[in-house]
Chains A and B, each alone.
Chain A
Amino acid sequence: MLYREAGDFKTTYAKDQALIPIRQDRVMLYIAIALALLLPFVASDYFLGSIAIPVLIMVIAATGLNLLLGYCGQISLGSGAFMAAGAYMAYKCATAFPWLPMPVSIILAGLATAMIGIAFGLPAVRIKGFYLAVATLAAQFFLLWLFTHVPWFVNYTMSGVPTPPPATVLGVYVTGADAPNWAKYLFVLSFTAFLTWIAYNLVRSRIGRSWMAIRDMDIAAELIGIRPLWTKLTAFAISSFYCGVAGALWSFCFINTVEPTAFDINRSFQILFMVIIGGLGSILGSYFGAIFITLFPIFLNSAPAWLGLDIPGDIITHLEFMIFGAMIVFFLIVEPNGLARLWQLGKEKLRLWPFPH
C-alpha cells in the first residue's frame, strides 16, 4: 500500500477539515483499531496486564500533559500529583456512591481533578517558564502530602493504602482483584480511544488554535481577542482531567491499590519525558512517548539475556538513565517535535517515493 496525498483531491473545505483528511491515514487508523480489539485474543495475559494496560493509561496522562505543554506552552511538573488526585477522587466517589457506574466515578474523579488543576494553574496567569515549573512542583508535593496525611481520603483505612472496590461493566469485573486482564484492558482501551478522539477535536477547534496562539506569541494572541486567563485555565483544567482519569485507571485497573508512591515526582518526570521524546504538540507523539518510555526499560532488561550476556541489574538501570538522558537532550535540542516528527518525515519521504523531485 502506497502512501499518497496526490490524487486524493478534496472538493470541499469540509472534506479537507475531516479528522483525518488523507485516506491512507484513515485506513491505518482502522487497522490500528482492529489490532487493538483483537489483542486480547492473541496476546498473553502478561502482555495485556503488564504492558498494554500501563501503556494505554500513560497515553492518557501524556496526552493530557501534551495539551498543556505541547499545545498551550505551559509547563507542569505536577502531572503525577494530578494522577494521584484522580485516583483518590475515584476511590472516594466509588466508595461513597457504590451505585454509580464505574465509568461515571472515573469521569467525576477527572472533573474533580480538573478543578484542582485550575487552582494550581492560576499562577500561570502571572508567571511563566521556570517560575511556573516551581509553582507546579509545589502542587506535586502539597497534593501528595495532603493525600498521605488526611485519613479522610482513604476512608480512615488503617493501612492507609486501600484497595479499589470491585466493579462491573456489562456484568464483567473491570476493577478489583478478580477482574480479568482482558476486561481491564478493554475498559482502559475505551477510555484511551475516547479521550484521544476528544483531544484531536479540541486541537483542531478554536480552543486548540487559541492554545497554540498563546504558546507561540501570547501578546499577539491577546491583541487578537484571545483571553489569556480563560485559555490557560482551560488548558490546565483539561490537562488535569486527563491526568486524573489516568490516575484513577492506574489505581483501579493496574496496581489495584490507592497509594501515593505510584504518583511521586518521578511519575511527573516520566510523563514529561514521554511528551518530549514522543513529540511536543502531537497527540500521536503521546502514543509514541508512552510506548517508548514504558517498553524501553523492559527491552533493556531482557535484551542481554537474549544475546546470552550477563549484565547486572544495576548497570542496566544506569544504562537506562543514560540513554533516556541522552535522548531527551537530543530531542530538546535537535527535534522538539520528537518521535512524531520523525514519523512524519518518514511519511513525507514515502509520499514522494519513488520520485523525490
Chain B
Amino acid sequence: MAENLLTVENITLRFGGVKALTDVSFDILKGEIRAIIGPNGAGKSSMLNCINGFYHPQEGRITYKGQTRKQMRPYEAASQGIARTFQNIALFRGMSVLDNVMTGRVLKMKSSLLEQAFYFGRARSEEISHRSKVEEVIDFLEINAIRKTPVGRLPYGLQKRVELARALAAEPELLLLDEPMAGMNVEEKEDMSRFILNVNAEFGTTIALIEHDMGVVMDLSDRVVVLNYGEKLADGTPDVVRSNQAVIDAYLGASH
C-alpha cells in the first residue's frame, strides 16, 4: 500500500582509511517512522548526513521521490522537502526562537532583494503570511511563551524543541531526527515522543529517527534498521529486531 519515499542502496562512505558506512541498503516508506539504531560510532549520523547531502558517499545510490542519484546535495535535499535536526544542537544562537523558526521557511520565500530592502510587495506579504504559518508550528510544539527569547538563553530541552520547530516550519516530507531526546529527562522525553507521533499523524510526515533509548524506539517506530560498525545488522519491525540474536550480541558487546 505505502510507496517508497527513499531508498538507499549499497552506500559506502569512507573518511580516509575509516569506513563509516559499508554497503548499507534500506528503504523508507511514505508516512512511516523509521528508526535507525546502533552502538556509538555505528554510522547512524553519517547515514543521515548522506541522505541530506552533507556527506557524499563514495559508492551506492540514493533514490528519493523516484529520482536516483549517486549523491544528494544539501540545497537540493532541502528544496525537495528533507529537513533535519542535529545530534549536537545546531540552532542560530544569536537569534530569537521566532527568527530561528522563520529561517526554516527560507526556501518558501520568493521576494527579491529590492523588495526586501524597501519592505514592499512580496517582502511584506510574505513576512506576514509566513509568520502565521510559523505561529502554527509554535503553537503545535507549545513554545509560545519563549518566542521572543534568544535561543542561546534557553535550557537544553527547549532548544531541542526549537530545533524541531525550525525543521517543521519547512513543512518537510521527510524529517530526519538525530537523537532528538538525547540528554532529556523522562518528562521531556515523553513530550518529545508525543510531538513526533503527532507530526507523523497530523501532517503525514515521514520520519527517520536515530535514538538510543530502546523503549522510545520500540514505542514510536514502525520499522527499525540496525547498524553496527558501519554495516547493516538487521532490519524489520521492532519485535523482529529485538529478538534478533546478532542485535542482542552487538548491544551487549557494545555496552559491556
Contacts and interface: CB of A to CB of B under 8 A. Distances in A.
Q: Do A and B truly interact?
A: yes
A293 to B, nearest CB: 24
Interface string A202-232: 1011111110110111011111111100000
Interface in B164-198: 166, 170
Nearest to B125: A14
A210 B113 CA distance: 12
Contacts of A198: 117-118
Nearest to A219: B90
A321 B93 CA distance: 33
A14 B132 CA distance: 9
A220 B91 contact: yes
B93 A216 contact: yes
B89 to A, nearest CB: 9
Given A213-B103, A220-B90, A201 B128 contact: no
Interface string B106-119: 11010101001111
A209 B106 contact: yes
A205 B116 contact: yes
A205 B166 CA distance: 17
Contacts of A219: 54, 90
B94 interface: yes
Interface in A3-55: 13-14, 17, 19
A212 B94 contact: yes
B140 interface: no
Interface string A290-320: 0000000000000000000000000000000
Given A217-B93, A220-B86, A201 B75 contact: no
A225 B75 contact: yes
Given A205-B127, A224-B166, A216 B95 contact: yes
Contacts of A221: 92, 103
B52 interface: yes
Contact of A223 (B84, B92, B123): B84
B116 A223 contact: no
A237 to B, nearest CB: 9
A207 to B, nearest CB: 5
Most chain A CB inside 10 Å of its own CB: which residue of B78, B90, B91: B90
Contacts of A224: 78, 83, 103-104, 106-107, 166, 170
Interface string A221-260: 1111111000000100000000000000000000000000
Contacts, number: 96
A289 interface: no
B40 interface: no
Contacts of A14: 128
Contacts of B86: 220
A285 interface: no
Contact of B78 (A206, A208, A223): A223
B99 interface: yes
A206 B84 CA distance: 20
A222 B79 CA distance: 11
B78 A225 contact: yes
A355 to B, nearest CB: 20
Contact of A201 (B90, B95, B118, B170): B118
B75 to A, nearest CB: 6
Given A13-B135, A216-B92, A225-B79, A206 B117 contact: no
A209 B102 contact: yes
B204 interface: no
A227 B92 contact: no
Contacts of B102: 209
B131 A13 contact: yes
Given A13-B132, A209-B99, A216 B119 contact: no
Contacts of A213: 92, 95, 103, 106
Interface of B: 52, 54, 74-75, 77-79, 83-84, 86, 90-95, 99, 102-104, 106-107, 109, 111, 113, 116-119, 123, 126-128, 131-132, 135, 166, 170
> Across chains A and B, which 9 residue pairs bring their CB atoms closest together, nearest first?
A225-B78, A205-B116, A216-B92, A220-B90, A201-B119, A225-B107, A13-B131, A206-B109, A209-B103
12 contacts: A13-B132, A198-B118, A202-B117, A204-B119, A206-B109, A206-B116, A213-B92, A219-B90, A222-B74, A224-B106, A225-B74, A225-B75
Interface of A: 13-14, 17, 19, 198, 201-202, 204-210, 212-213, 215-217, 219-227, 234, 281
Given A17-B127, A202-B116, A226-B103, 8 more contacts: A19-B119, A206-B106, A206-B123, A209-B102, A216-B94, A221-B103, A223-B54, A224-B83
